[in-house]
Amino acid sequence: MGSLASERTVTGWAAKDPSGILSPYTYTLRKTGPEDVVIKVLYCGVCHTDIHQTKNHLGMSNYPMVPGHEVVGEVEEVGSQVSKVQVGEIVGSGVIVGCCRECTSCKSNIEQYCNKKIWSYNDVYTDGNPTQGGFASAMVVDQKFVVKIPSGLAPEQAAPLLCAGVTVYSPLKHFGLMETGLRGAILGLGGVGHMGVKIAKSMGHHVTIISSSNKKRAEAIDHLGADEYLLSSDETQMATAVDSLDYIIDTVPVFHPLEPYLSLLKVDGKLILMGVINQPLQFVSPMVMLGRKSITGTFIGSMEETQEMLYFCEKKGLTSMIEVVKMEQVNEAFERLERNDVRYRFVVDVAGSKLDG
């Protein structure tokens, strides 16, 4: 098992200020304990949230900040009380790395809703040390927040599933939307949206992509297997789709009106919000009242759901569509992600990069 008592120095790429530009940064990992797992990072996905955090879009950023919360790596060492994983196994770590374990959410195995959850970066551990993410050579993670990557999933393909994949899987399961024959829609075809199409289709749903332009029509239909493509700027098309959907997964991370989409839902239909937006969204109440419709939100998924989702993807042969980059290309990748110039998720080859610049 090795000695877990000693601290270790690692190199990651950190944002030093709200410019969000990442550069090499050397720091010391927190002291490890009996339930901790030391992970050699192999790959780490790039999420839009990484941009929000590194550029202080939410006004709560602390620097220096090593981002990255879609982490896949190899177990290097385990603590004396670790039973979940073994040295040499390929594992994943996601958005949160700690919780209180005592609140109602934690006791109900939905620790992602714990009010004292600890984020994988831009947060502090209970000992006061800052958390740092997966754009680094190694991480130390409590075994509760580690999942096994099934052998049928390539490590680089699995990375985005730890955020984008479970973010879609969790609400479909929780709201009873896993049965075949449902009609659903994905609003916004990005990292989360493309996994929404794949997962919903694998559940036997009729899936519509809703977009403001036609530029993604071919890839939505031909490459992702969506059944229909609905142009939200075309009033005639939108009118024909009124009262036709059981649910809409809204992944758009910028302000947008809700009324046009609420009208597409059947009675008891659900609009599930997933985009992080720092402006209030608006709607008129009759749009909800006159169809007993719901506007709800969801946040990633539990560790139990994350592991279940990974096995689901392995069984169904689902993979994320990715572009692998080296760490020295990460700033360009961030810029391209802001321009929506990626199909559909960047993944950083951390182990294959020269982290010291």
| Residue 261 domain flag | yes
In this predicted model, what pLDDT tens digit does every residue of 60-83 receive, in sequence order? 999 999 999 999 999 999 999 999
Residues 253 and 116 in one domain: no
Q: Is residue 311, in this structure, part of any structural domain at all?
A: no
CATH number at residue 119: 3.90.180.10
pTM of the full structure: 0.94
Report pLDDT digits (tens) over 266-283: 999 999 999 888 889 989
DSSP 99: -
Buried b (16+ CB within 10 A) or exposed e, 326-346: ebebbbebbebbeeeebbbbb
Query: Are 145 and 188 in a shared domain?
Result: no
**Does 308 fall in a domain?**
no
Residues β-bridged to residue 36 = 142
Claim to verify: residue 126 and residue 248 sit in the same structural domain:
no
Residues 181 and 104 reside in one and the same domain: no
Query: At 256, which CATH number?
Result: 3.40.50.720
Q: What mean pLDDT value characterizes the chain?
A: 95
Is residue 313 in some structural domain? no
Residue 354 lies in a domain: no
Q: Which residues contact 30 (CB under 8 A, 6 or more apart)?
A: 7, 125, 127, 129, 140
* Angle of the 164-174 helix axis to the 303-316 helix axis, nearest 10: 100
Give me the number of domains the chain comprises: 2
- Tokens for 321, please give them: 């569509």
Residue % of the chain over a pLDDT of 90: 91
Residue ranges for the chain with pLDDT beneath 70: 1-6
Same domain, 101 and 71: yes
Tell me: do 128 and 175 sit in the same domain: no
- Answer whether residue 338 is part of any domain: yes
Distance CA 52, CA 137 (A): 23
Whether 170 and 267 share a structural domain: yes
Same domain, 135 and 270: no
Domain that holds residue 136: 9-163+320-349
Q: Nearest-CA neighbor of 113 among 254, 303, 277?
A: 303
Q: Please check whether residues 96 and 127 belong to one and the same domain.
A: yes
Q: Mark whether 159 and 27 lie in a shared domain.
A: yes
Q: Would you state the pLDDT for residue 6?
A: 61
175 and 283 share one domain: yes
CA distances from 349 to 48, 252, 352 (A): 18, 27, 5
How is residue 246 written in tokens? 């059981």
Q: Could you tell me if 189 and 220 lie in one domain?
A: yes
Q: Which residues contact 86 (CB under 8 A, 6 or more apart)?
A: 75, 78
What pLDDT does 2 receive?
A: 43
Kindly state whether residue 47 falls inside one of the protein's structural domains: yes
Residue 14, domain member (yes or no)? yes
In which element (H, E) is residue 141 found?
Answer: strand 138-142
Distance between CA atoms of 161 and 344, rounded to whole angstroms? Answer: 12
